[in-house]
Structure formats: structure tokens, C-alpha cells
Structure 1
Amino acid sequence: MRVTAKLAIWLAVIFLLLFAIYQSYPIVLYQVMLWQKSFNQQISGSLTALSQHSQQAGLTLMLISFLYGVFHAVGPGHGKFILTSYLSLEKTKLTQAMKISLLSALMQGVVAVSLVTVIVVVFTLSRSYFNFTLKWVERGSFAFMILFGVYWCYQAFKPFWQKRKVQSTPKIRQISLNQNLQHNHKIQPLVTVKSHVHSEHCGCGHQHLPSSQQMQHAKDWKAQLMIIFSIGARPCSGAILVLFLAYTLDLYLWGIASALIMAVGTGLTLSLFAGLVLVARNKAIRLSSWYISEQTSKKLALSLKIVAGIGLILLGITLFHSSFIEISTGSGLLRR
């Protein structure tokens, strides 16, 4: 009864928190949009002051760019959906989650700087060429998102395929194996020696199996790279805006510094978000251990992983398809 009452209290608290977030999120999002608009105006003013040789405006530009990155990450985006799905269903340490978040955000800044530098600064192509390239870079991030969903579904279905493969072993091989086992069972030694079970911490001096850290690293590096590319390949619109403005004012190095500082601010917010997801995940695991068996919990985790993988695939396909619809609609308006 005590466990049931405690569980009911926790569920009620979680429900109230989710309801409060649902009710307050539109207000917070609207306020963040107002702050971003104000930050854009202040960034423009700081760059204009820098063009008039006001060095103090450089520090103001870095501070505003950092705050812009922090608040920009609060808004909705496919990156937070990918991070939430991965961190909720995979055994990930806080350091790993922070590394993924920071690298994803930094890659956004690097991609923005690279695109503007190569297309606008080096080749001096028009804005239409830049928008065309940017669209295909964004489509690349959606493609990585789809690949990550497919890879995740493959990882979830892999144990079922291996189990079916073992069950479909030829009968002749199974019969011969059973006969050998029966023959060996008849021959028993005079002195029974306690068998040594090798494990990760058996202490016999030999690494018979890879450690859990090695297995986790081998398992996760592909998924982590897909997450970083699917989030980071889509550059921040604020970084592109400040780079274009800095280029027109002949302050491009300041624009690069501003874009990278934005990425750092975004990465810190994403890291905080990742930490909150991990805390919620650990709380959910502790709650589920009271009334769900370990076997049922594994099956539920696999089912949720499949659902999340399918959701990533569908969202990636939707975003990829919508990028073509926007272009065709724009061209139709131009024709008219």
C-alpha cells in the first residue's frame, strides 16, 4: 500500500508538472521570440558601432550573441526531438550527453561560417545561390535524421532476428550436439572442481569479454555521429544573418566570432536540456522498477525504441518533403 501511494503521488506530481509546462510553454516561447528580435536589433547596432571604430561594441556584440544562442535553443526544433528520443531510451552518461549537445551546436556554427565563407566571401555568388545550397544542406540533415531512425529500428529488431536465427538451426546439428552433451555427461570426474565463471570483474587477470564501457562505446559511436550530423548540419538562422551583416559592413571576422559564440550559447542550453532529460529518465526507471519486472521493462524499452525510430523516420520524411513544397510554392508565386 505504501508503494502504491508513493507511486500515485509521483504520478500526480509528474502530471502537474507536464500540465504546467504545457500551459506556460506558449507564453515562454512568445517571450523568447521577442527577446530574439531585440537581440537581432542589438547585434545590428553593435556591428554598426564596430564599423565606426567603437571597440567597446565588440564586447557587447559577443555578449548579445551568446545570449541569442542561449535563448534560441529554447524554441522548438527537430534537434531537441532527436536528443530527447536518444537520451530517454539509451544508457547514456551525463558527460556523453553534454558532449553530443555541445558538438551538435558547435557544428551548426561551423556549417554556417563555412557556407557563407565559401559561397559568399570566396566565390561571391548571389543570395539565390546561397539559399539553394542552404536548402540542400538542410535536406542533408533531414536525411541523416531518417538514417538515424532506420539505424535505431535495426538495433531494436536485431535481438529478435538473432533469436529467430538460433531457433532455425538445422535439426541434424541439434541432434548431434545433444548426443555429444549426453556422452560427455556420462563421463564424470572423480573430483569435482568448482567452475570459474568469467566475467568483466572476475579478477583472473584476463579480459575474456569486452568491458561494458568498450561495448557501450562500440555501440553508440554510430548513433552519436548521426545525431551530431542530423542536428548540426542545419545552421542557425541567426548566425547566417550576423555573418551576412558583418560581411556587408566589412567586419567579417567579428561575424565569425559572433556566430561561434552563438553556437557555444546554444550548446550550453542543449546540455542543460540533456541533463534534465537524463534526470527525468532516471526517475522514470526508478518508478517503473516498483511495479514492472525487468523482462517487461526491456520489452517496453524495445517497443518505445521502435516507436521513436519510426517517429524520427516520419518526421525526417515530412521535413524533407516540406522543403521541396516551399520551393515549388515560391517559384509558382514568382511565375505569377
Structure 2
Amino acid sequence: MTTQILARRWRLSGAIALAVLFFAAALILHAHWSAFLAWCLATQITLHRYLVMYLLQLNNHQYTGGLWLLIGAFFYGVLHAVGPGHGKFIVTTYLSTNKESQTAARLIPFLGSLMQGVSAILFVFILAVGFNLAAGDLSESRWYVEKASALLIAGFGGWLILRGMQSLRPRRVTFTFRPLANDHGPDCGCGHHGVGAGAHGDWKTRAGVILAIGARPCSGAIMILLFSNALGIVSWGMAAVMTMALGTALSIMGLSLAVRYARNSTAALFGERGGNLPWLVPALKIAGGLMLIFFALVLFLTVIPVSANGDYIAAGC
């Protein structure tokens, strides 16, 4: 008993220390938020110009530019993940309010980030290549896609709120009678025993997270594809975009595992079901859904305006 009390006190002390460090980091980040955003934007524009230069080298048959293109695209994706973005917000909100396995915590952000690259490729091929739209029309299409993706994020937030409200409802207890031949014990492997049964996310919710992340293509990836298509080396542009998505995916995977660890540590401290507060977990899901809706509203209202000359002007090319 004494060992359990000491272990609980150590966990509580660790949780308090982590909370203090988190809030201190949040205060420091808030104080330098504008400078941080400006640095991220300036660095991404610089990297973007280097990527354009490597594409020009490839067009002049300088194939060493292809290697540097892929390396630069990878670091562009990593930097894109470090800066503020919707993918990190969605993954953090979902994993902090839902119990997920380690495999799912890796695959969800990984597939969502790769889907961002696929979305950019489909956007360019369908609109620029298939319909041969002009630069201004592409900018308008990008505007509609980003508006629609914000609505999709809001819809996913509403889905989380609905799931949380359903969890708050009192569950009906039903009794079923089975023949003795069909009885099973706790070691039968059917997965219907234990407090944690059914605690993990279902495939519909996971697919919703992946879709909410991947439905909004990176504007930098779109610009690289448009420029490579204009040069006639679109295959190199596709390779750069998917390498960029890989860099983003690996970075967000690290964040998702850290969020999962923090959530599980908190659940171990207070109990997976909230101990004497059974409403705590559903309330967190509802709060997470409301945060996603608010974030989607901010995205919807701050979409980059349509440019008649094409988005490459705003991207710093």
C-alpha cells in the first residue's frame, strides 16, 4: 500500500512538473508568436525559391539539382510541420481526447500528411492539366478547396461533439441468456472483457481524421507542381511533393506519439474513466470538438485571397 501511495505521489509530482513546463513554454511562445510566424514564413519562402532553382537546373539537364530538390523538399516538409498548421491541431486534439493504440497514433498523422501530397497532385492534374485553367482560375479553385476543407474540419469537430454527448447518456443494461456451450471466459480472446474494451477509436473516426488533414493541400506543394508542369518535368515535381509530405509526416508522427504519451500518463494518474468523474472524458471530447470548430472558423475566415496573377506571387517565387 505504501509503495502504491509513493508511486501515485511521484506520478502527481511529474504531472505537475510537466504542466508547469508546458505553460511556461506556452507563455514564451505566445510572447514571441509574431516573430516565430514571420521566421517560419521567411524561411519557407527562401526554401521555396531554392526548390524553384533546382527545378530550373533540372530543366537545363543538371541532374544534381534533382538530388538537392528532394533534399530541399524534405526539409521544407519538416519546416512546414514545425510551423503552425491545421494537421498538427487536428492530430493533437484527437489524440488528447481519444484513447488510441501506438500503431494508430503513428499511422493517422502519417497517412494524413501523405494524403496532403496526393491532394496537391490531384488538384494540379485535374484543374491545371485536365481543364487547362489559367493562373487566376487556379487561385480561385484553391480558394474554394481551402474553404471546403475548413468546413470539413468543422464537420469532424461536430462529429466529436456528437460522440461525446452520446457517451454522456446513461447506458441501458440488458440481460441475455446463452447456452452453456457458448459461454466464454476472460481468456477466450474475443475482446469483449475488461474495462478498456472498445476504448480505442473506430475506423470511421480515424478515416475522418485522415480526411480532415489531407483534404487541405499545401500551397507550396501546389506551386512546385505548377512550376514543374510548366517546365515539362512534372514527374520531378510529384517526387518533390511526396518527399515534402514525407518530411511533414515524420515530424507530425513524433508530435502525435508525444501527445499520446501525455494523454496515457494523465489517464493513468486520474483513471481512464475519470475515477469518480465519469463525465470528464466525454466533456474533453466535446471541448476538443468545439476547439476544432473554432479553429475551422479561423481557417475559413483567413483563407488567402484570390490572386488574378496566380498564387505564385504571394508564395514569394
2:81·2:251 contact (CA, 8 Å) conserved in 1?
yes
Correspondence for 2:28: 23
- The alpha-carbon deviation at position 248 of structure 1 amounts to 2.2
User: TM-score, normalization: structure 1?
Assistant: 0.76
1:103·1:228 contact (CA, 8 Å) conserved in 2?
yes
Task: Supply the AA of the counterpart residue of 1:238.
Answer: G
Distance 1:113 1:97 in 2: 25
The percentage of counterpart residues that share the same residue type is 31
RMSD: 3.4
In the alignment, which of 19, 22, 35 is matched to residue 43 of structure 2? Answer: 35
Distance 1:208 1:37 in 2: 51
Distance 2:140 2:205 in 1: 28
In the alignment, which of 124, 128, 140 is matched to residue 132 of structure 1? Answer: 140
Matched, 1:46 2:54: yes
User: TM-score, normalization: structure 2?
Assistant: 0.80
Cα separation, partners in 2 of 1:61 and 1:100, compared to 1, 3 Å: same
Correspondence for 2:223: 241
Cα separation, partners in 2 of 1:134 and 1:213, compared to 1, 3 Å: farther
Cα separation, partners in 2 of 1:306 and 1:80, compared to 1, 3 Å: same
- The alpha-carbon deviation at position 150 of structure 1 amounts to 1.6
Distance 1:33 1:107 in 2: 23
Give the number of the structure whose alpha-carbon radius of gyration is greater.
Answer: 1
In the alignment, which of 259, 263, 269 is matched to residue 277 of structure 1? Answer: 259
Matched, 1:76 2:84: yes
Task: Supply the AA of the counterpart residue of 2:216.
Answer: R
Report how many aligned residue pairs link the two structures: 294
Cα separation, partners in 2 of 1:94 and 1:209, compared to 1, 3 Å: closer
Cα separation, partners in 2 of 1:133 and 1:89, compared to 1, 3 Å: same
Structure 1 window deviating more from structure 2 (1-10 vs 11-20): it is: 1-10
In the alignment, which of 252, 259, 268 is matched to residue 286 of structure 1? Answer: 268
Cα separation, partners in 2 of 1:116 and 1:13, compared to 1, 3 Å: closer
- Give 3-state SS (helix, strand or coil) of 1:295's partner: coil
Distance 1:293 1:216 in 2: 13
- The alpha-carbon deviation at position 272 of structure 1 amounts to 0.8
Structure 1 window deviating more from structure 2 (1-10 vs 121-130): it is: 1-10
Correspondence for 2:309: none
Distance 1:17 1:261 in 2: 32
Structure 1 regions of 5+ residues with no counterpart? Answer: 168-176, 178-194, 328-336
Matched, 1:107 2:88: no
Q: Which has the higher helix share?
A: 1
2:168·2:279 contact (CA, 8 Å) conserved in 1?
no
Distance 1:321 1:265 in 2: 28
- The alpha-carbon deviation at position 255 of structure 1 amounts to 0.8
Cα separation, partners in 2 of 1:138 and 1:159, compared to 1, 3 Å: same
Give runs of aligned pairs for residues 59-98 of structure 1, distance below 5 A.
Answer: 59-98=67-106
Distance 2:199 2:17 in 1: 35
Cα separation, partners in 2 of 1:289 and 1:60, compared to 1, 3 Å: same
